[in-house]
Chains A and B, each alone.
Chain A
Amino acid sequence: MPNLDSELVARSLRGDERAFRELLTRHHGVAYAVVRAILGDRDDVDDVMQVVYLKAYQGLKSFRGDAKFSTWLYQIARREAIDASRRRRRDVTDIEDVPLPADPADAADAPLRERDTREWLDRAMGEIEAHYRTAIELRYMAEKSYEEIAAIMDLPEGTVKTYVHRGKIELKRILSRPDWRARTAENQ
């Protein structure tokens, strides 16, 4: 609802902090998804997120409303995450070097298996191209439609679909390696 965003921006500029908080809550998924897509599951994600929201607050006066607020926030988050990534070179870990998570069959509880799955997926996400990763995170973590992602990333909708689908094919290729296959077979 762009109109609601415009109203919230106007109220925020008048000093209404509740409006600013509501504005960020509405688009939190976008900002976090982008930062996670660029930085991965790193410790400094929280720090970068705080900087993103602080810069959004400080720069709100420069938001002219030409683009959607989500697009504007996406650009801030992307810029900050890339800067953080440059400051501290990413520790790229090859998927083959990752120790196998605990055997799911031996796990006593389901939450542990879920955590293992998340870890594996995070590792695999780190292997695929950044623009595939960003589109996938916006789709699943931020729960945005292809149309919304296209507007946020300023790309044609067809391109976004291609990114997500190719990203999934890449993920499937990585996760289909023998060790992963053996693990998923035991899960089923």
Chain B
Amino acid sequence: MNDACTHIESLLPGFVEDGLGADDTLRVRAHLESCEACRASLVAFQTLEDSLLMRRAELPPVERFLPAFAAAPAPAYRRPVLMRAFRAVISVPGISILLAVWAGTLAFNFREPIGRALSFSTPNNLVGGIDRLADQMVFLTDGNVWLLLAALTMVSLFVAASMGAMTLRFVRH
């Protein structure tokens, strides 16, 4: 093998991949026209290329190597019980603060009618006081039953959602 053949052989891997520039491609083609040894080399490189292209089929599926936690179909990760309890409990102060702010704002805005209602709620006539409080609520909603129901529903939903969220936090995490 002379120097020209050695140089051409160094280009043949790129030639087989169709990755040579135009000049080198022409140079290789011209040399191959007249060199039987390099044509045989080209066949060997093409055979090698075909064998290498089959290596992809040897890649085993990723599942074979995954740790058990990742191979399973999305097993839910559960924090330790103590951590779950802590995360659930820590949400209680937040919800309590929200409820307190909400109740305080309501009480401040409606302090006069609430005060009048409470003035009747002595131990002797507690039931009457509650009745009057109910009357005042009806008064506040201007006698609109639907508005009253909507307000009560909102409060109930808020409390239920808060309790539900706390429960879910504990169960899921």
Interface residue ranges of B41-76 to A (CB < 8 Å): 41, 43-45, 47-49, 51-56, 58-60, 62, 64-67, 69-72, 74-75
Instruction: Give the interface residue-count category, chain A.
Output: 35 or more
| Interfacial chain A residues near B53, Cβ < 8 Å | 140
Q: Judge whether A50 and B67 touch: CB under 8 Å.
A: yes
Grouping DSSP codes into helix (H, G, I), strand (E, B) and loop, the B interface class, with mixed when no group exceeds half, is helix
B10 within 8 A of A: yes
Determine whether B24 belongs to the interface, using a CB cutoff of 8 Å to chain A: no
Contacts of A165 in B (CB 8 A): 10, 13-14
Closest Cβ neighbor of B64 among chain A residues: A46
B86–chain A nearest beta-carbon distance, Å: 17
Q: With A140-B56, A143-B56 in contact, is A172–B44 under 8 Å at CB?
A: yes
* Cβ-neighbour of A141 out of B14, B43, B59, B72 (below 8 A): B59
Assuming the A-B contacts A15-B77, A24-B66, A57-B70, are A169 and B9 also in contact, with contact meaning beta carbons closer than 8 angstroms in the complex? yes
Would you give the 0/1 interface string for B29-43, flagging 1 where the beta carbon is closer than 8 Å to chain A? 000000000000101
Q: How far is the CA of A80 from the CA of B67 in the complex (A)?
A: 16
In the complex, A28 Cα to B71 Cα: how many Å? Answer: 14
Chain A residue contacts of B56, Cβ below 8 A: 140-141, 143
Selected contact of B10 from candidates A49, A57, A169, A175, CB within 8 Å: A169
A21 to B68, CA, bound (A): 11
Contact residue among B52, B54, B58, B62 (Cβ-Cβ distance under 8 Å from A28):
B62
A54 at the interface (CB under 8 A from B): yes
Q: Complex: how many Å from CA A52 to CA B64?
A: 13
- Neighbouring B residues of A187 by C-beta, 8 Å: 47
- CA distance in complex: A176, B12 (Å): 15
List, in ascending order, chain A residues with CB within 8 A of B51's CB. Answer: 117-118, 121
Q: Is the interface of A mostly helix, strand, loop or mixed?
A: helix
A184 at the interface (CB under 8 A from B): yes
Q: B44 and A24: CB pair below 8 A?
A: no
Docked complex Cα distance between A20 and B75 (Å): 13
Q: A18-B74, A118-B54 are in contact. Are A175 and B48 (CB under 8 A)?
A: yes
Q: Is the CB of A50 within 8 A of B44?
A: no
**Given A25-B62, A165-B10, A172-B44 in contact, is the A140-B55 Cβ separation under 8 Å?**
yes
Report B-chain residues with C-beta under 8 Å of the C-beta of A184.
Answer: 44, 47
A168 and B48 in contact, given A21-B66, A28-B62, A46-B64 (Cβ under 8 angstroms): yes
CA distance A184 to B75 in the complex (A): 50
Chain B proximity of A174: nearest CB distance (Å):
10
- Cβ of A161 under 8 Å from chain B: yes
Contact assessment for A24 and B54 in the assembled complex, using a CB-CB cutoff below 8 Å: no
Residues of A within 8 A of B (CB): 15, 17-18, 20-21, 24-25, 28-29, 32-33, 46, 49-50, 52-54, 57, 114, 117-118, 121, 136-137, 139-143, 161, 164-165, 168-169, 171-172, 175-176, 184, 187-188
Query: When A and B form their complex, which 10 residue pairs have the shortest distance between CB atoms, in order from nearest?
Result: A49-B65, A165-B13, A28-B62, A168-B13, A140-B52, A140-B55, A141-B55, A21-B70, A15-B77, A25-B62
